[in-house]
Structure 1
Amino acid sequence: MDLLEGLESLQFEYGMEEEDRSWLYLQGRSRGLMIKACAHATFFCKLLYNLRKSLPKKETSRRPLSRSLDNTPDDDEFKVGIIGGGHLGKQLARVLLRLVPIPVQKLRISTRRPEALDEFQKLGIQCSYNNSRLVNWANVIFLCCLPSQLSNICSEIQTSLEKACIVYSFVAAVPIPRLKLLLNHTNILRPQYQCFEGFVNIWGANKEIVAALQDPSILQATCPYDPTGGITLNIKWLEGVFYAMLNICTATNMPHPNALQLLNELFLSVHFEGCEKDRESCPKFKLKDVVSKVYANNLSQGRPFPWFDLTAVQLRETPFSQHLLTSTVLRDHLTHLYCDLFGISLTKEQQPVVSMGSPTQ
């Protein structure tokens, strides 16, 4: 419910000079960026949660992805940490709790002002100021801090980061190579967004982010391939997500054929109308789509995939790059998967316009 509806004098733009109204698009852009950032983080967490549920118990117990400081036997469970309790950190926490959903005991927040997070503490979420402890506990860390704070935070947490812990950075001003250097870590994801003027603002004004992501038109505009709303995502991020899932399998010492089968089930299990009649035409990930031909020829059947440097994946061409670029049917399946994870089913006619984005930044 919009409490300001019909109250013109209380609207943000009331009283603005005519020459200043040309800048109002920045308000829509800022909101669009927030909605897209939360949507893509939710998509990633949903995939990771589903993958971890599919891992054989004997594999996760053999080599846990992270250790818990609390000495509790839940190392095979999905644990998320957020560093930064500002506007983005709070919005992200709300979305993950509602839409993934992450149990309150599996989400923790580290911020310099934990007393300002009373809303989350009442829910039972642990809010403190101990970045190093949070990193040691979590499987995924979201960096929602200011660029000026990042250097100190990285120096605090780099010795506590385990190889398999995924760092997901929203700090747009700090590029991936710099992050890799600051953290001495390769398991990093960083979405990169590009904005352009002259777009139709479809992001709404006063709707909560959780509610916005349950609006089919807004959710479809957040699809990785959809430029609607004036914001595009560098599609290399999607490659990073794919290889991050493979790293999870590698961390459990899973043979690569099993890992490929799991990835096919995870990414390609949602079909659109045309697929129902001809499943043989549906894409399937093969070994050559993941590693080079030379490496594939020398990879024995029982061996896991190598450990992938996610920073390199997002900056360079990979075998998966060409597969993603040339296969329209693969992109269709990924788009339908994206919407399905948010509870929306698309027909073929509703397929968003494809925008591959810039390869690097």
Structure 2
Amino acid sequence: MDLTINLNSLGFEAGLSEGEKELTFLRSRSAGLTVSGCGHAVFLCGLATTVREKLRYLTNKSRLPGLNLGIIGGGHVGKQLTKVLLTLPGFKSSNINISTRRPDTLKEFSNSGVKCYFDNRSLAAWADILFLCVLPSHLPRVCAEIHSQLPAHCLVYSFTTALPLQRLARLLGHSFVLKPRYDFVACDSALMWLRHNQMMTALKDEEVLTASCPLSMSGGLSLDQRWVSAVLYSLLNMCTAERLGFSQAVHLLNELFQTKPSSGTFTCQSFVNSSCAATLTNSEEPFPWINLIDAQTKQTPLSSCLTASKVLQDCISAVYHKTFSGMSSAKNEMKE
């Protein structure tokens, strides 16, 4: 029994001045951004892992390696992201590497098989998806280190929101970049983000998980919906990188999100405009490479398609929830 329940004098806000109390919403915002940010990043990894597995079969490349996930930064966000990845089925610790200035502080991960070291350049050259979990003040230096080291197929995902997307792409010399843009409004429902101290527990809470769903966020948080379109375009680019024909690529995404012809499916024109679709006459021809910077800053055929189709939105949301339904409880003993 918690003997401090209802004892306001022992509460967090007891020693705050009136001016400080007006800023307590920042705790909710921080917790909400961490939970949602990690949830969305893991959702992307889950989708990309499934696509990689399907590509291995569809392209007859049985030796196509598993998805390599690189994390630069071993601070709070980097640790939370790694913990969630290690609790989900399909993610092997051997496919996760972390580069940080103090790898000796990550014993809990290295003991689980995650390689922890300090070599940003090598990590960038190795990763299929590279997560930037560093402070804004460190980002220019990190970008300079990994500039020209990034393979064309490497998807860079930035948790650092202070730097505009276009400038980040210029610093990296790389356009295959994803950076979610969140907005927050203080409200009573935002307190739900403070309900759990552990990330895995939060993402197993149905109300919190629903509030973090990319297409229908609540709890004071919202996400630029073009992020969802950019995620799907990144999956399409994975198909293009392996020279998968556009017809099979569309079929793969419909299968991934379990869409139904009777109610709503993706088509070729869901992803490219009519003039581009008209040039795709050979079903074995891949889609053109999609610029993710444009996908996150401009209206695209896919963003228009998703806005107009509640059915497709529901399909994507269902897969988001399913991503976390198999979270392992065996590793939930890790301390935050």
- Amino acid in structure 2 at the alignment position of 1:312: D
Q: Deviations over 1:240-264 (max 9, x none)?
A: 1000000000011111101110011
Aligned pair partner of 1:197 in 176, 183, 186: 186
Letter matched to residue 215 of structure 1 = D
Assess, with a 3 A threshold, how the Cα gap between structure 1 residues 107 and 4 changes in structure 2: closer, same or farther.
farther
Which residue in 2 is equivalent to 1:44?
44
- 1:237: how far off? 0.5
Distance 1:41 1:2 in 2: 34
SS at match of 1:162: coil
Q: How does 1:239-278 map to 2 (within 5 A)?
A: 239-269=229-259
Any residues of structure 2 matched to 1:231-310 within 5 Å, and which?
231-269=221-259, 279-301=260-282, 302-310=284-292
In the superposition, the TM-score normalised over structure 1's length comes to 0.84
What secondary structure does 2:39 align onto? helix
Structure 1 unaligned runs (5+)?
A: 63-73, 270-278, 345-361
> Hey, which bits of structure 1, 4+ residues long, moved more than 4 A?
1-10
For 1:208, the aligned partner's letter is: Q
For residue 117 of structure 2, what is the aligned residue in structure 1?
Answer: 128
CA distance in 2, matches of 1:99, 1:4: 35
Q: Is the 8 A contact 2:157 2:178 kept in 1?
A: yes
CA 1:230–1:293: 2 relative to 1, 3 Å: same
Q: Look up the equivalent residue of 1:51 and give its one-letter code.
A: V
Compute the displacement of 1:126 (Å): 1.0
Q: Letter of the aligned partner of 1:291 in structure 2?
A: V
Conservation of the 8 A alpha-carbon contact between 1:136 and 1:160: yes
Judge conservation of contact 1:60–1:76 (CA < 8 Å) in 2: no
Match of 2:12 in 1: 12
Q: Distance in 1 between matches of 2:5 and 2:49?
A: 39
Checking the alignment, whether the CA contact within 8 Å between 2:264 and 2:311 is kept in structure 1 is yes
Q: Indicate the RMSD between aligned Cα atoms, in angstroms.
A: 2.2
Contact 2:152–2:176 at 8 Å: present in 1 too?
A: yes
Counterpart in 2 of 1:225?
215
Deviations 1:111-161 (A, max 9, x none): 111122122122221111100111111110000001111111111112211
Whether 1:103 aligns to 2:92 is yes
Residue pair 1:105, 1:125 contacting (<8 A) in 2 also:
yes
1:21-54 CA deviation, whole Å, 9 max, x = no partner?
2221111111011000011011111111111111
Q: Is 1:59 matched up with 2:59?
A: yes
Q: Is the 8 A contact 1:255 1:303 kept in 2?
A: yes
1:273-352 equivalent positions in 2, closer than 5 A: 279-301=260-282, 302-343=284-325
Count matched residues: 324
One-letter identity of the residue aligned with 2:235:
M
Counterparts of 1:280 and 1:165, CA distance in 2: 33
Distance 2:295 2:70 in 1: 24
Identity of aligned residues (%): 39
Given that 2:75 and 2:133 are in contact with CA atoms closer than 8 Å, whether structure 1 keeps it comes out as yes
Which residue in 2 is equivalent to 1:164?
153
Return 5+ residue gaps in structure 2 as ranges: 327-336
Contact 1:202 1:218 in 2 (8 A): yes
Determine the C-alpha separation between the residues in 2 that align with 1:243 and 1:250.
10
Deviation of 1:204 after TM superposition, in Å, equals: 2.7
Q: Distance in 2 between matches of 1:95 and 1:117?
A: 15
Residue 207 of structure 1, aligned match among 194, 197, 202: 197
- Say whether the 8 Å CA contact 1:135–1:141 is kept in structure 2: yes
